[in-house]
């Protein structure tokens, strides 16, 4: 099992450019999440999904869009990148199906994004 | 609202003990603890659920006081491998399902 994988690992964008980050998991998990982590800070939830075809906003959703067309994949899009979106982005998945989060979240290795 | 962790940083000698606290202003469904080493992804340590159930690590213990909306992580006989940043996550209701809100982290350094 690969667990949770993320592509790309690193990316540099210019202000105004767009890009898509891909997260894939092979654990058949229902829930998937996108977080951002800024230097010296904790994780902040951007968007999440409780199942294929569903998405919801987290704490800091502005400037991002997501899609969950397949259960194993969760895509994070930046339509017009800004320097404030420079961060490390982590994807995670968990098997919670009851609406609560009583299960481990498994994190991917992260994508380091720099917006110039 | 983000949970508050204390202390923000702690330095230990190998073999010493440490306690990391996490408090929230809102009622908690569960508290999750993760450790992150520099440049790596967070790794699960423990979940504490309402009612006292715990899931997690054999060598790390934690408590969850539902009335005070607080959790504490106890690291005993620390090892060099315990170094890293510890995050607590508190579960709260989200529009499509519950979600975790993470604290700002506690940096732990264990020295020989």
Judged by CB atoms closer than 8 Å, whether chains meet at B41 and A110 is answered as yes
List alpha helices for B1-112, DSSP H.
none
Per-residue pLDDT, B57: 65
Cα(A21)–Cα(A5) distance, rounded to whole angstroms?
Answer: 11
Any idea what the CATH number is for the domain that residue B43 is in? 2.60.40.10
Confidence of residue A101 (pLDDT cuts 50, 70, 90): low
Confidence of residue B56 (pLDDT cuts 50, 70, 90): low
Is the per-residue pLDDT at B54 higher than 70?
A: no
Closest to B29 (Cβ–Cβ): which among A40, A48, A100? A100
Domain presence at residue A36: yes
B15 and A CB contact within 8 Å: no
Judged by CB atoms closer than 8 Å, whether chains meet at B99 and A101 is answered as yes
The structural domain count of chain B equals 1
Is the per-residue pLDDT at A83 higher than 80?
A: yes
Closest to B41 (Cβ–Cβ): which among A48, A90, A96? A90
Residue A36 sits in which domain range?
4-96+107-115
Interface list for A 73-102 with B (CB within 8 A): 90, 96, 99-102
Any idea what the CATH number is for the domain that residue A71 is in? 2.60.40.10
Q: How many CB atoms lie within 10 A of CB B86?
A: 24
Judged by CB atoms closer than 8 Å, whether chains meet at A42 and B104 is answered as yes
Structure tokens at B105: 């982290």
Q: What is the mean pLDDT of chain B?
A: 87
Residue B58 sits in which domain range?
4-111
Lowest-confidence segment of A20-24, A111-115, B64-68 by average pLDDT: B64-68
Kindly state the average pLDDT of the residues B73-86: 93
B93 and A CB contact within 8 Å: no
Is the per-residue pLDDT at A99 higher than 70?
A: no
Per-residue pLDDT, B36: 95
Distance in Å, alpha carbon of A75 to nearest chain B alpha carbon: 18
Per-residue pLDDT, A102: 59
Distance in Å, alpha carbon of A82 to nearest chain B alpha carbon: 23
Domain presence at residue A102: no
CA distances from residue A111 to A10, B32, B81 in whole angstroms, order as listed = 5, 23, 24
With contact defined as beta carbons under 8 Å apart, do A95 and A31 qualify?
yes
For B80, list phi and psi in degrees, rounded to 5.
-55, -35
Judged by CB atoms closer than 8 Å, whether chains meet at A107 and B103 is answered as no
Domain presence at residue A62: yes
Per-residue pLDDT, A66: 97
Judged by CB atoms closer than 8 Å, whether chains meet at A50 and B96 is answered as yes
The structural domain count of chain A equals 1
Domain presence at residue A25: yes
Domain presence at residue A38: yes
Per-residue pLDDT, B58: 62
């Amino acid at each position: 099992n690969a667990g949770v994988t993320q592509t790309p690992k690193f990316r540099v964008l210019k202000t105004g450019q767009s890009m898509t980050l891909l997260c894939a998991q092979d654990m058949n998990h229902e829930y998937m999440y996108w977080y951002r982590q800024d230097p010296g800070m904790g994780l902040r939830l951007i968007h999440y999904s409780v199942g294929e075809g569903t998405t919801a906003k987290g704490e800091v959703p502005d400037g991002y869009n997501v899609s969950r067309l397949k259960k194993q994949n969760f895509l994070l899009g930046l339509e017009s990148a800004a320097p404030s979106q420079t961060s490390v982005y982590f994807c995670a998945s968990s098997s919670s199906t009851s609406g609560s989060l009583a299960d481990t979240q498994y994190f991917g290795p992260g994508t380091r994004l720099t917006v110039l | 609202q983000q949970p508050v962790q204390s202390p923000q940083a702690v330095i230990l000698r190998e073999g010493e003990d440490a306690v990391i606290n996490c408090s929230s202003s809102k009622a908690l469904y569960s508290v999750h603890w993760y450790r992150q080493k520099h440049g790596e992804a967070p790794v699960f340590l423990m979940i504490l659920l309402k009612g006292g159930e715990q899931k997690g690590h054999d060598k790390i213990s934690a408590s969850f006081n539902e009335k005070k909306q607080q959790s504490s992580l106890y690291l005993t006989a620390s090892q060099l491998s315990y170094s890293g940043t510890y995050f607590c996550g508190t579960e709260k209701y989200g529009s499509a399902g519950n979600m975790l809100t993470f604290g700002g982290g506690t940096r732990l350094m264990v020295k020989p």
